[in-house]
Structure 1
Amino acid sequence: MRNIRLIIEYDGSRYSGWQRLKNSSETIQGKLENVLSEMVATPIEIIGSGRTDAGVHARGQVANFHTKSPMSIREIHKYMNHYLPQDIVVKEVKEVSERFHSRYNVKSKRYVYYIWNHWIPSAFQRKYSYHLVEKLDIGIMKEAAAKLVGTHDFIGFSSVKKTNKSTTRHIEEITINKEGNMLVFTFTGDGFLYNMVRIMMGTLVKIGLKQMDVSYIDEIFESKTRANAGETLPPQGLFLEEVYY
């Protein structure tokens, strides 16, 4: 049995997220599995590094599947990109060790969130960034972001309900850069809870607008209460940039 690893990019605008759903044919996993199953004439189940929500994009999603097909790597690669929708592209196909698992072997991930911070919207960036008219104080946001770095229980920054699983995660780095009217927020960590990046972004925005003090970050960690954090920002500004193994 061969183990094939894929690196995939996709525009998540019209999809119901990564995970295959019974009530929706518009998922990334579903589209990939349909093409692969047709390719080898047998059902294929694909394993992703993690789920992305409806409307979220990816430049470096990683997935793997098992097959007995004798097709070459180049043949698999060409077939997939020929039959997949144009908003899903397989960037790399590689045969890997049987022990490789896209989800269990992840060491860290990098997400990027984009905010178009100008009173005039962008016709081209509207699907790939969150438009915010009010000017943000980047200095204060960087100060707040520094408090998020490290190992913490991020339950207050997530939409996770009651769970027996650990909600402690380690954030290695958060950077904030200005590129013209675009603000680029990069989050690197060993894992992220449901909606965690978008809620951290909503909190940073509230602080950047001076509607919340930097000290609220500590209060959210202490209270472990979702209601104390900022809103969940829209999905179109979020990209899964890279997965590290």
Structure 2
Amino acid sequence: MKEIWSRFRKLISCWKGLTSLGRLKKIALSISYNGASYHGWQYQREDVRTVQGALEDALSIIADSPIRVSCAGRTDAGVHATNQIVDFSTNSKRDMKAWVSGTNSRLPESISVNAAAFVPSSFSSRHSAIARRYLYVIYNSRIRSALLPEYLSREYRDLDHEKMHEAAQLLVGEKDFTSFRASKCQSNTPMRNVFSVRVWRERDLVLVDITANAFLLHMVRNIVGVLLDVGANEKPISWPGSLLACKDRSKASKTAPPNGLFLVGVKYEVGVGVEIPALVWPHFLRVSS
């Protein structure tokens, strides 16, 4: 009799597990994170803290099965995001509240799921994206900020943001960005299409807003490094054009620090239902579309 009851309990357990599963479906999330305490987005190994690793651990608990995610842009160590898009496939039956609030309850405070939506099985957060948008925030002051160093890149030199903006327009268009890629960049081609670059000032903050179809490793930070030297009157406005022509990374400026960089938006041909306003923490700077 005990053996019969034991088998019955096992059958009930299996049945409960099966009823919690359904058709394989794909879900997209919008997430934000403070990248200061992470070794970048991409999972490396268990003892290395990454955004992907923390997110997959939390989602796997909610799904009660292993979850692997892909993202629109693999941010470097120290880089932040207000609207990173990720996707994953699962057959676990959960409502959207569970994927948002439930996952957030399992995440550290430095990572948050903003929204979730079902997407077609053909959707890829990375390959379906037609544009990525980054904002770089520079604290232009000779006095360092004691409160916000994680979210700002400080530049002590006086910056002429109008010169920076004019110089940045030389980068717009489909061009060879060899001079702006990191030596460890593994992309098959240095060609990228920059749709827009805008530089402006908000009191002590100088902001660089750049959108492109995709970016090379350290490309945004290398562009900012060049614009900083132009803004400090150490290089001419024409310098970005000269660097594009020479195709030599060693001729360009040093790479700007990661802490001022935010991934603020990803664009798709068809909306994925997880867009949020591009607000940059901690300044609440609304980025116009």
For the criterion TM > 0.5, the same-fold answer is yes
Check whether the contact 1:169–1:192 (CA below 8 A) recurs between aligned residues.
yes
Letter of the structure 2 residue corresponding to residue 33 of structure 1: E
The equivalent residue for 2:58 is 35
Letter of the structure 2 residue corresponding to residue 41 of structure 1: D
CA distance in 1, matches of 2:204, 2:159: 11
1:142 aligns with 2:161: no
The TM-score with structure 2 as length reference comes to 0.82
Note the C-alpha offset of 1:164. 6.8
Letter of the structure 2 residue corresponding to residue 144 of structure 1: A
Note the C-alpha offset of 1:23. 6.0
The DSSP-based 3-state class of the residue aligned with 1:29 is helix
CA RMSD of aligned residues (A): 1.4
Aligned counterparts, 1:53-202, within 5 A? 53-161=76-184, 165-202=188-225
Shift of the 162–48 alpha-carbon distance from structure 1 to 2, 3 Å rule, reads closer
The TM-score with structure 1 as length reference comes to 0.96
The equivalent residue for 2:273 is none
Note the C-alpha offset of 1:52. 0.1
Letter of the structure 1 residue corresponding to residue 50 of structure 2: T
Aligned residues: 245
Note the C-alpha offset of 1:211. 1.5
CA distance in 2, matches of 1:163, 1:111: 21
Letter of the structure 2 residue corresponding to residue 117 of structure 1: N
Query: What is the CA deviation profile of residues 183-221 of structure 1, one whole-angstrom value per residue up to 9, with x for unaligned ones?
Result: 111001111100000000000001111212222222211
1:208 aligns with 2:228: no
CA distance in 1, matches of 2:59, 2:224: 36
CA distance in 2, matches of 1:134, 1:154: 26
The DSSP-based 3-state class of the residue aligned with 2:92 is coil
CA distance in 2, matches of 1:60, 1:164: 24
The DSSP-based 3-state class of the residue aligned with 1:52 is coil
The DSSP-based 3-state class of the residue aligned with 1:107 is strand
Note the C-alpha offset of 1:19. 0.1
The equivalent residue for 2:274 is none
The equivalent residue for 1:228 is 251
Aligned counterparts, 1:36-51, within 5 A? 36-51=59-74
Note the C-alpha offset of 1:75. 1.6
Note the C-alpha offset of 1:83. 0.7
- Give unpaired runs (5+ residues) of structure 2: 1-23, 269-289
Letter of the structure 1 residue corresponding to residue 164 of structure 2: M
- Percentage of pairs with the same residue: 35
